[in-house]
Structure 1
Amino acid sequence: MTSNKYTVASLFAGIGGIDLGFEQAGAEIVWANEFDKNACTTYRENFNHTLIEEDIRKVHEYEMPDVDILTAGWPCVAFSIAGRQHGMKYQCLDCQHEHTVSYDEYINGAVCPQCGGHTEAKDPRGTLFYDVIRFIRAKQPKAFLLENVKNLKGHDKGNTFKVIEEMLEESGYHFKSKVLNTMEYGNIPQNRERIFIVGFKDEEALEQFRFPDEIPLTKTIDDILDRNEKQDSIYYYTDDSQYYKMLKETMKRRDTVYQIRRVYVRENQSNVCPTLTANMGTGGHNVPLIIDDWGFRKLTPREALRFQGFPDDYKIPEGMANSHIYKQAGNAVSVPVIKRIATNMIAALNSVYNKNNIKEKKEIAV
């Protein structure tokens, strides 16, 4: 450890939501990797440690220093119900047979089990978990935190998650998983369900770890929104907008958030923000909507970040396009949820390791 803090390395770091949560829990982030250049720009505005801006498949595992905890929120598109859900599947280019490959096949090259032909990943983003395993096996951290969409567990009738569990077990880790909703575990009014996998090298540490308990949602959308002053005109819909008539007919309440769904406007019945998605960065109508004293408007990028639990002192790079910030917020994790998980992970590690980082069995301590 450095400065008596557990050290953390972050794969698929995004704009640092996981890293910020671990920092708030008392850990020290020492290294990170992210491929998206705009996310890297935002990350560097807020963190000073090493950031490798590169496709993880081109980053050698030994470029990462030895750390106590490894984190990874690898791309979810291949598992999300919003995508095609190709997952980790490979397909033979000759006979079209679909199959899942082992870690060794991923590293050394896979062939079709039916005809011996050449195979390729149906969605390369779905196979990036193999690279997470590559780093875990090379660096053998004391613990890890992995994050993805809720649908990961049920994807391909549970077969994808079974493969993930097998690879983690073969890597020598003990782990548990749970789906947590931001509005239930982070006291942030956003309906966002994500699966978290927490693992430890030492089984005793896993026995000591508990996922955080559900907490009451005391914050409302008014704790997030800037309704006391008019925002830039680019966020408002005017009467010459193609959607204005539809918005005027549907948007009546100020205590909730709305979304445009092609031919209708959807009202969130639970009075919270719907799940923020990266699609917010692909077009203005994908950004959730609210009513303020000046009309119907989109969330601002700052409000989107607040709905993920980022504090107001988190810096948005000057000149960064709003579309990039929206995408980054949609791809991010909810910081308060991460902080609570990280706090419990550190407590579990402390139950097994003393401050000098040497394993201290309870019977020896006694």
Structure 2
Amino acid sequence: MAFNVASLFAGIGGIDKGFEQAGANIIWANEFDKHACQTYRLNFKHTLIEDDVRNLKENEMPDVDIITAGWPCVAFSIAGNRHGMKYKCKECGYEHSVTYDEYINGAKCPECKGSTEAIDPRGTLFFDVIRFIREKKPKAIFLENVKNLRGHDKGNTFKVIQEMLQDSGYFIDSKIMNTMEYGNIPQNRERIFIVGFRNEQELKSFKWPEKIELTKTIDNILDRNDKQDEGFYYRKESQYYPMIKESMNRFDTVYQLRRVYMRENQSNVCPTLTANMGTGGHNVPLIMDKWGFRKLTPKEALRFQGFPVDEEYKIPEGMARSHIYKQAGNAVSVPVITRIAANLLKVLEEGNRNAKEKTEYEQLSATF
């Protein structure tokens, strides 16, 4: 049987595509960003709720076997301000943590009892993940975030997350995995993944995927045989052209423009794609082709995340490049998700078989 999945913070469907490729049935998703929703709807036909998760009631999500969530990482990312799940009193300025019950029912400053609010509301959205998990009680959960989640606030944030998941009735495990080591995609991208099962034996049966050899190179990703739109190229008119021309001399790697210097990726893979590719400027990695020095195209960025853009996955026509770059940077690496999901689904299938055999044995025993 195919297990049903509901997806929170679905983005453009990277986690969903991975679970779909592994054999799961995605039946419901939620995403707030309107441009991400446009891309999502072009590629999936099931229900997508376009709204802030904080506005959703738990009964709007159908009962499912698995809940997934790749909740916003900016509050924990090294590239962000790293406020995490902290609150700050509006009256005395005291910074503090809150419990799940305080988040749901309203928090007060522990020092002066004054009004308090999240420093970065994106960091507290994990409480909403817990809200749906506790109401729906799926057989398994799958969560994704930045590597730095584990070390944020000296490990206290991750400790709180673990405790909330355990208090919700789940046995959990986590692992930091790099796309170029586990997905056979040449991108240096480390992320933390969390799996949880209501059945402790199922967690014990779950195995994380092993590392695999990286056989693909950037030439498997790039469209270097065709000249791209002129807008992707840096020409002599650009103030950065002299620095680019002096620094970029290899076709087998990817470069990053850092305004005052160029960074060459020594491992011949793409550096971590980030959402700020969509903010304009010079955040998109650069490569060389026979027509000059240029940025990655949005399609290439999605390929570096393992999206099947040369098969069935579609990019909305006419959508601004900035939106697609942002979506690629916010996404997960699909092949890594597929491998984890396949192992997770295998555990649930085995659990179903064991439960069925137990029921049949009990029914048979009752006849004697």
TM-score, structure 2 normalization: 0.96
1:350 equivalent in structure 2: 349
How far 1:99 sits from its partner (Å)? Answer: 1.2
- Match for residue 315 of structure 1? 314
Partner secondary structure for residue 199 of structure 1: strand
Residue 79 of structure 1, CA deviation: 0.2
The 8 Å contact of residues 9 and 69 in structure 1, kept in 2 or not, is answered as: yes
Which residue of 1 is the match for residue 333 of structure 2?
334
Matched with 1:293 is 290
Q: Is the contact between residue 147 and residue 195 of structure 1 (CA under 8 Å) also seen in structure 2?
A: yes
Alignment of 1:246-257 (within 5 A): 246-257=243-254
Aligned pair 1:265/2:262, yes or no?
yes
In 2, distance between residues paired with 1:308 and 1:206?
28
Cα deviation 1:140-172 (Å, max 9, x = unaligned):
000010000000000000000011011001100
SS at match of 2:40: helix
1:59 aligns to 2:56 (yes or no): yes
| Cα-to-partner distance string for 1:304-341 (whole Å, 9 max, x where unaligned) | 00000001231011110110000000000000000000
Q: Pick closer, same or farther for the CA change 1:298–1:7 going to 2, 3 Å.
A: same
For the residue of structure 1 that corresponds to 2:353, the secondary structure is coil
Distance in 1, matches of 2:142 and 2:357, equals 23
**Aligned equivalents of 2:306 and 2:196: distance in 1?**
24
Equivalent of 1:130, from 122, 127, 152? 127
Letter in 1 for 2:286: L
Stretches of structure 1 lacking an aligned partner (at least 5 in a row): none
CA distance in 1, matches of 2:43, 2:357: 36
In 2, distance between residues paired with 1:364 and 1:37?
51
1:243 corresponds in structure 2 to 240
Q: Which amino acid aligns with 2:334?
A: V
Tell me the SS of whatever aligns to 1:22.
helix
1:360 to 1:9, Cα distance in 2 relative to 1, 3 A: farther
SS, match of residue 282 in structure 2: helix
**1:283 to partner: Cα distance:** 1.1
Contact 1:188 1:307 in 2 (8 A): yes
Q: Does 1:283 align with 2:311?
A: no
Q: Is the 8 A contact 1:253 1:291 kept in 2?
A: yes
Pick one of 149, 153, 156 that aligns with 1:152. Answer: 149
Amino acid at match of 1:300: T
Report if the CA contact (8 A) 1:221-1:272 is conserved.
yes
User: In the alignment, residue 345 of structure 1 is paired with which amino acid?
Assistant: L
Q: Do 1:185 and 1:213's aligned partners in 2 also have CA atoms closer than 8 Å?
A: yes
Moved more, 339-348 or 89-98: 89-98
Measure how far apart 1:235 and its partner are.
Answer: 0.6
Query: Which of 229, 232, 243 is the equivalent residue of 1:232?
Result: 229
Q: In the alignment, residue 121 of structure 1 is paired with which amino acid?
A: A
Distance in 1 (alpha carbons) for counterparts of 2:350 and 2:64? 18
Question: Any idea what SS the aligned residue of 1:345 has?
Answer: helix
SS at match of 1:285: coil
Which of the residues 297, 302, 306 maps onto 1:305?
302
Look up the SS of the partner of 1:304 in the other structure.
Answer: helix
- Could you tell me how far apart the structure 1 residues matched to 2:147 and 2:71 are? 13
Name the CA distance, whole Å, in 1 between partners of 2:249 and 2:257: 14
Q: Which amino acid aligns with 1:267?
A: E
How far, CA to CA, are the matches of 2:214 and 2:359 in structure 1? Answer: 38
Structure 1 SS opposite 2:327: helix
The amino acid across from 2:127 in the alignment is Y
Q: Write out the 4+ residue segments of structure 1 that deviate beyond 4 Å after TM superposition.
A: 358-365
Q: Is the 1:208–1:351 Cα contact (8 Å) retained in structure 2?
A: no
Q: Percent identity of the aligned residues?
A: 74
Structure 1 residue aligned with 2:169? 172
Separation (CA, whole Å) in 2 of partners of 1:362 and 1:195: 37
- The answer for the alignment partner of 2:365 in structure 1 is none
| Structure 1 counterpart SS, 2:351 | coil
- The 2-side partners of 1:363 and 1:205 are apart by 20
How far is the alpha carbon of 1:363 from its aligned partner?
Answer: 12
Paired residues in the alignment total: 361
Unaligned runs of 5+ in 2: 363-368
Give distance in 2, aligned partners of 1:49 and 1:8: 11
Separation in 1 of the partners of 2:188 and 2:216? 13
Deviation string, structure 1 residues 199-249 (Cα, Å, up to 9, x no partner): 001111101101100001000000000011111101111111111100000
Secondary structure of 1:317's aligned partner: coil
Amino acid at match of 1:64: M
**In 2, Cα distance between the equivalents of 1:85 and 1:359?**
47
3-state DSSP class of the match of 2:12? coil
Structure 1 residue 364 displacement after superposition: 5.6
**Aligned residue number for residue 22 of structure 1:** 19
Q: Is the 8 A contact 1:6 1:27 kept in 2?
A: yes
RMSD: 1.5
For 1:303, give the aligned amino acid: E
User: How many angstroms apart in 2 are the aligned matches of 1:288 and 1:362?
Assistant: 56
Shift of 1:354: 2.8
With normalisation by structure 1, the TM-score equals 0.96
* Gap change, CA 1:363 and 1:215, over 3 Å in 2: farther
Question: Contact 1:352 / 1:360 at 8 angstroms: preserved in 2?
Answer: no
